[in-house]
Amino acid sequence: MRLIYLFLIFMTLSACKNDNETGGYTTPDLKLTSNRMTPEILWSFGRVGTPAVAPDGEKAVYGITYFNKDENRSYSDLYLMNISDGKSIRLTNTADNEHSAGWTPDGKRITFMKKGQLWEMDTDGERLQQITEIEGGIDGYLYAPDMSRIAYFKGVQLEPNIHDIYPDLPKANARLINSQVYRHWDNWVEEYSHIFIADYSNSATIKGGDDIMKGEKWESPVRPFGGAESLCWSPDSKSLIYTSRKKYGIEYATSTNTDLYAYDLSSGDTRNLTEGMLGYDNHPVISPDGKWLAWESMERDGYEADKVRLFVMDLESGNKQDFTKAFDQNVSSLVWSQDNKTIWFISDYHATEEIYSLNITTGEISKHTEGVHDYTSVAPVGNMLLATKMSMSKPTEIYKVDPVTGNDEELSFVNKSLLDQLQMGKVEKRWVKTTDNKEMLVWMIFPPDFDADKKYPAILYCSGGPQSTVSQFWSYRWNFQMMAANDYIIVAPNRRGLPGFGQEWNEQISGDYSGQNMKDYLSAIDDAKKEPYIDENRLGCVGASYGGYSVYYLAGHHDKRFKAFISHAGIFDLKMQYYTTEEMWFANWDMGGAPWDKVNKTAQRTFANSPDLFAGNWDTPILVIHGQKDFRIDASQGMAAFNVARMRGVPAQYLYFPEESHWVLGCQNGILWQRTFFAWLDKWLK
C-alpha cells in the first residue's frame, strides 16, 4: 500500500487561521515533514490569476486565491506588482473574495468585483468606493476608454417561471420547460446574460443602466464560460462590440454560430460584423488607433473544436483577412501592441503552449518561446512581455519574458516556499509509433527518487475534451505530480483527436470515438510497459469526461492489460448521452448524427460501439465518480456503469458528489477525491 505521509505538514491549509481584524485569510509558512506531494499540500498552493497591466505599463494588479480546508471555502485577495522588479504589495485582506481586477482607463484607480458589485480603490488599497449598486448584482464590467460610461452584464429573466404563472402556489418547486437549452454545464437556464450601459461618474453610485439587448432571448457573454473578454469598446467610446449567438431553442442547441455585434451608442443601432461567418467568432480586440478589429474565429457551424483562426477586419472598409491560413495551429489570448503593428497570442504546438506574434504589415507569424511549459496569458509591456506560465511540475506564476531571446524571469514567487520543500518527479517527452505508423508524443512522469532498478506500477491517463491537448498543464485534480508522489509512473499520450499536432490529427476522432485513438492509447501503454522498471502486471487506466468514456470502452476491450480502472464523469451509454446532453451541436458533430438516423453509417458505427454494449466483457475492478450537477454528462451515466459492474460481479465503487458538476471544485470534496482515487489504485496495483 502507498505511504500516507502523515499529512507531511506541521501546519497545513486546515490549520491556517482567519485574520480576526479583517475577516481575511492568512497562510502561514508551511513546514513539510516530507518532500512528497499530498492532497492537503496540493490544495495549499496559491492560485495566481492573470495580471491586468496598468495603462502606463509600470504596474500590474492580480489576484491570488487560497483555500481554507476547515471552512471548505476559498479566499481571494488582490495584489499590486511593480513590473520592473516584481515587488508586490497586498491590497485587500477580507472575506469578500475580491476578483476581476483591472484599471480605470486613466490608470489612477484599480477596479474590481466583490459581493456581485463593481468597486474602485487607489493603488495603495485606500479610498475604497462602491461603483455599482445593481439589484441582483452584476457578473462583469468594462469601462469606456473616455470613462464616460461603464458596460456591465448580468442575468435577466425573460420568461415566466412557475411562480409567475401560478402565484397562488408559492411553495411549488418545479420548472415548466418548453424549449432548449434549459440547462447548461452546471446551471439551470432561468436567465439570459444581457449587457447594460450606464453613465459613469466617480462621485455617484450606479443604480442601473440601459439594456442594449432588451427583450432578446439570447445572451452575451455566451454561456457557459464567456466573460468580459467577450466585449470591447471602440477607442473613441462611441460603440461597443460584443459576442452573441442570436438563436433560440433547437437552433441554439445545434449551432456554434456566434457573431460579433457592434452597438452604436448614439443611434442605438446594432450591426452584425461577422454575418455569413458560420462558426464561433469570439474574443474581439480593437487596435489602439481604432482601425483594426482582431478576433478568434472558427469556420464551421456545429464544430466546437474547429481550428481557431486569427481574423482581422479593417473597420473602415469592412474587409476581413484570415492571417492563419498557412498556420496549422490554434490561436488564443489575442492582444495588440501599442503601435498597432503586432498582435501577440498563445498557441499550442506539440503539447506546450507558447507565445507567438503576428506582424500585421507583413503577415509573418513568429514564435518567441520554447520549453516544457504552458504560457497561459501574455501582454506587451514596453520592450518586454508580462505573461503567466505553468507546467506539470509548477502551478501558475507571473513572468517577464524577453520576446527576442525567449528567456523569462519569474516575478511573483507565490508558491516558492512550498515548491522549495517538494521534490517533483522527472517529466520526459517520448515519441511513440502508432498502429498506423504515425509518431505520437507521450509524456512520462516518474516518481520522485525514481530508481530504474525497481519495478513500478503505471497509470495510463486518458484525456478529456475529447479535443483537449495533454500539454504542460497544472491541475488541482488530475495532477500528474500528485500521482507520481504516490509512486506511480504516468503515461499521458497525445492520442488522435488532440490539438497541437495539426488539424488532421485533431479532427480524426470526430465520428470515430472507438477507433484509432483507442489504438493510440494502447500503443502508448504497450510501449511504456516494455521498460524494465514498469511492472506490466500492475497497470491502471484513468480518465474524466471523454477520458471517462475511454476508460469504460477500454474496460471492455483491454485484453487484460489493466488491473484497475477509474472513470470520472464518463459516457457509458452513447445513445442516452445523445438524448440527455445540452449542447446538441457537440453530439451531432462528434457522434456523426442521431441514433434514429439509420442511413447514417457514421452515427450507426458510433452508437454500435457504445461502452455499455461491451460491459459483458468487464472483468476488472472499476471506480466510478460523478457529480449530480453535471449536465454535460448526466450523473445517471455513472450510476448505470456502477450498477452494471456490480451486477457483473466486478469489484466496483461509486464516489458520488451531490453538489459537484463536471468538475470537483470544493476544497474538502477535492481532497476526498484524491484520497479515494489513490486508495482504489493502491488496493489493486500495490
**Residues annotated catalytic, as ranges:** 545, 630, 662
What the block records as the C-alpha cell of 271 is 450591426
DSSP string, 361-376: TT--EEE---SSSEEE
Asked whether the CA dihedral 656, 661, 664, 668 is positive or negative, the reply is: negative
Task: Compute the C-alpha angle 434/437/443, nearest 5°.
Answer: 35
HEC profile of 175-234: CCCCCCCCEECCEECCCEEEEEEEECCCCCCECCCEECCCCCCCCCCCCCCCCHHHEEEC
- Torsion region of 438: left, alpha or beta (phi above 0 gives left; psi -120 to 50 gives alpha): beta
Q: In DSSP terms, which residues pair with 399 in a beta bridge?
A: 387, 410
* CB contact at 8 A, 623 and 565: yes
Give rounded-to-5 percent helix, strand, coil for the chain.
15, 35, 50
583 phi, psi to nearest 5 deg: -90, 90
CA distance 68 to 332: 33
* CB contact at 8 A, 103 and 120: no
293 phi, psi to nearest 5 deg: -115, 125
What the block records as the C-alpha cell of 130 is 462602491
What the block records as the C-alpha cell of 183 is 440547462
Burial class (CB in 10 A: 0-12, 13-18, 19+), 290: middle
With cell 457529480, the residue in question is: 627
